[in-house]
């Protein structure tokens, strides 16, 4: 060690030296990974019901335009005009702007709580990125306000929020983290469920069916939903949905049909075998009963990598082993051996274009198509929620088809809006489908109203009506979709609720009280 003036200090006796670095930032100690055990009491999934749309009551509705279609066709010119006022009331015969107040700095709403959801007991606001002071270094935080806007509960969550489900008639919320842990809370944000979905028998079978890796799993589980009484929950993976109760029993499972136009491309084999041939085929593939198509697919890929002649140059027996493997897979799957080298489950084809023309007296037809794996032809479930105050479920697919099933997973009916909804809310009297561009209001099979959405708004359901909360506008409607009035703001809206004095709309720095609005709560 060298001291001041270049002196050697290393041989000094009875002296101790401490080296310190100035202006250093302490390195945070990484949090220990929490072990979460599955709450499932059954090791096997419940029977899976394949839904056939031809057997259901079919309710077609006007097609919801996509966002890019609105821009292309100029429909966005009809969007709500901005205001230069802090708050402006439009429409509503009896609506009046009673007061506008500026928040003290310590009263301002925390913009980290960027998600807002109405539930049975009031209003939930969610900091899904863990950026608020309330999060206290946790991955997410939540606030619950009563029906009059007063803070009732707050909490930080142990898990991040990658998927979220909030039941308008429930008390809390359910979410799934990036590591596929489902976690649910009551309205005091006390944990009522924490279970790793990756260990669920339904998800394990799904991974085998599509060959989904562990790092890809979170992208294939699209929805989680919680019943109004917290007694059961639903989760979806690709085109399948499963319902499980809080005691860990699988209740039912359903699979939606493939997207329209896709047909299986693999030819059916004409080869069949006796039971002895089947047993020999299982022996070749090192399988035993019971066996699933997913088992066969997985084992074929494993053995093909070991035995394929191209991967084993110089191995004289590789070709014979590969022929035996292909023959065994043909017996067990019924697929033509020509498709076996690329076998990875169902392959599907869709005709994209067909043209017929005459040439020298001959009529020729040219067809172009696309061939994809089953996961790309599947109609992925992108939205799910329970029906009102019951245990039925709505499942909305990417194609825009929305299937309703009862509490036992039996299909009831199917709606078609041509676009996947972001929210589905059933009040028992009215049914609401919200897409990025349109809100549908139905009662039974009857369409009562269509409301255009211009800013990707959120739907807030109350006992007497509903509101559409967009970035700088809050529109209020009767429950049947009759328009009642709106408030337009200069700055983005952070919170809206109904107090004893009237409706309150808050931005980052100001809040307004609007009178003449009917009470949200009976």
How does pLDDT run across 100-124, given as a tens digit for each residue?
999 999 999 999 999 999 988 899 9
CA dihedral 338, 341, 347, 352 (to 10 degrees): -70
Confidence grade of residue 276 (pLDDT, cut at 50, 70, 90): confident
Q: 3-class DSSP state for residue 115?
A: strand
Res. 255: pLDDT tops 90: yes
pLDDT at site 411 = 96
Q: Which of 261-275, 349-363, 398-412 has the highest mean pLDDT?
A: 398-412
CA dihedral 479, 483, 489, 492 (to 10 degrees): 40
Res. 207: pLDDT tops 90: yes
Exposed e or buried b per residue across 153-174, where buried means at least 16 C-beta atoms within 10 angstroms of its C-beta: bebbbebbbbbbbbbbbbbbbb
Rounded CA separation 334/250 (Å):
31
Rounded CA separation 250/257 (Å):
22
Backbone Cα Rg of the chain: 30
Enumerate the domain spans of the chain: 83-108+427-522, 346-377
**Sign of torsion over alpha carbons 481, 482, 483, 484:** negative
Looking at per-residue confidence, does 28 or 518 come out higher? 518
Confidence grade of residue 346 (pLDDT, cut at 50, 70, 90): low
pLDDT at site 4 = 45
Rounded CA separation 408/251 (Å):
7
Res. 3: pLDDT tops 70: no
**Lowest-pLDDT choice from 230-239, 339-348, 450-459:** 339-348
Task: Tell me the mean pLDDT in the region 400-424.
Answer: 94
Task: Tell me the mean pLDDT in the region 85-92.
Answer: 93
Rounded CA separation 381/372 (Å):
19
Res. 341: pLDDT tops 80: no
For the question of whether the overall pTM of this predicted structure is more than 0.95, the answer is: no
pLDDT at site 12 = 46
Closest CA to 232 of 222, 242, 246, 219: 246
Task: Tell me the mean pLDDT in the region 252-274.
Answer: 72
Res. 127: pLDDT tops 80: yes
pLDDT at site 395 = 97
Confidence grade of residue 467 (pLDDT, cut at 50, 70, 90): very high
**Lowest-pLDDT choice from 55-69, 73-87, 450-464:** 73-87
Structure tokens at 74: 């100029």
Res. 30: pLDDT tops 80: no
Residues 353-406: pLDDT tens digits?
556 666 666 665 554 545 456 777 889 999 999 998 899 999 999 999 999 999
pLDDT at site 365 = 56
Res. 288: pLDDT tops 60: yes
């Amino acid at each position: 060690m060298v001291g001041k003036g270049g002196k050697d200090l290393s041989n000094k006796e009875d002296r101790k030296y401490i080296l310190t670095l100035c202006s250093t930032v302490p390195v945070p100690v990484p949090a220990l990974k929490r072990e979460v055990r599955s709450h499932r009491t059954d090791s096997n999934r419940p029977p899976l019901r394949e839904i056939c749309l031809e057997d259901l009551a079919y309710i077609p509705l006007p097609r919801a335009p996509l966002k890019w279609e609105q821009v292309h066709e100029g429909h966005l010119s009809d969007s709500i005009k901005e205001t230069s006022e802090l708050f402006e009331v439009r429409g509503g015969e009896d609506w009046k702007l009673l007061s506008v107040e500026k928040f003290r700095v310590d009263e301002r709403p925390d913009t980290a709580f960027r998600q807002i959801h109405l539930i049975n007991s009031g209003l939930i606001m969610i900091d899904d990125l863990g950026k608020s002071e309330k999060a206290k270094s946790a991955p997410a935080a939540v606030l619950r306000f009563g029906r009059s806007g007063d803070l009732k509960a707050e909490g930080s969550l142990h898990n991040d929020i990658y998927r979220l489900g909030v039941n308008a008639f429930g008390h809390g919320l359910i979410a799934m983290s990036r590591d596929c842990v489902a976690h649910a809370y009551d309205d005091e944000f006390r944990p009522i469920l924490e279970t790793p979905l990756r260990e669920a028998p339904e998800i394990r079978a799904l991974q085998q069916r599509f060959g989904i890796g562990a790092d890809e799993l979170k992208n294939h589980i699209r929805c989680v939903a919680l019943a109004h009484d917290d007694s059961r929950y639903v989760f979806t993976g690709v085109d399948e949905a499963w319902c499980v109760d809080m005691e860990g029993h699988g209740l039912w499972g359903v699979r939606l049909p493939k997207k329209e136009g896709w047909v299986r491309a693999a030819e059916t084999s004409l080869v069949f075998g006796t039971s002895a041939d089947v047993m020999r085929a299982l022996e070749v593939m090192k399988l035993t009963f019971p066996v699933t198509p997913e088992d066969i697919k997985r084992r074929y890929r494993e053995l093909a990598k070991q035995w394929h002649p191209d991967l084993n140059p110089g191995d004289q027996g590789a070709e014979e082993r590969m022929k035996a493997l292909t023959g065994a897979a043909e017996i067990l799957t019924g697929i033509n051996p020509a498709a076996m080298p690329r076998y990875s489950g169902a392959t599907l084809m869709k005709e994209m274009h067909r043209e017929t023309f005459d040439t020298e007296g001959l009529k020729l037809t040219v067809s172009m198509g696309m061939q994809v794996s089953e996961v790309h032809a599947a109609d992925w479930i992108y939205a799910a929620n329970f029906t009102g105050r019951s245990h039925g479920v709505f499942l909305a697919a990417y194609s825009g088809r929305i299937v309703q099933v009862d509490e036992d997973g039996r299909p009831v009916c199917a709606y078609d809006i041509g676009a996947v909804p972001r929210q589905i809310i059933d009040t028992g009297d009215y049914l609401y489908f919200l897409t990025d561009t349109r809100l549908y209001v139905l009662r039974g099979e009857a369409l009562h109203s269509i409301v255009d959405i211009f800013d990707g708004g959120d739907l807030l359901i109350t006992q007497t009506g509903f509101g559409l909360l967009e970035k700088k506008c809050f529109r209020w409607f009767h429950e049947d979709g009759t328009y009642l009035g709106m408030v337009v703001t200069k700055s983005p809206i952070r919170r809206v609720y109904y107090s004893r004095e009237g409706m309150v709309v808050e931005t980052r720095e100001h809040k307004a009280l609007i009178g003449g609005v009917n009470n949200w709560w009976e």
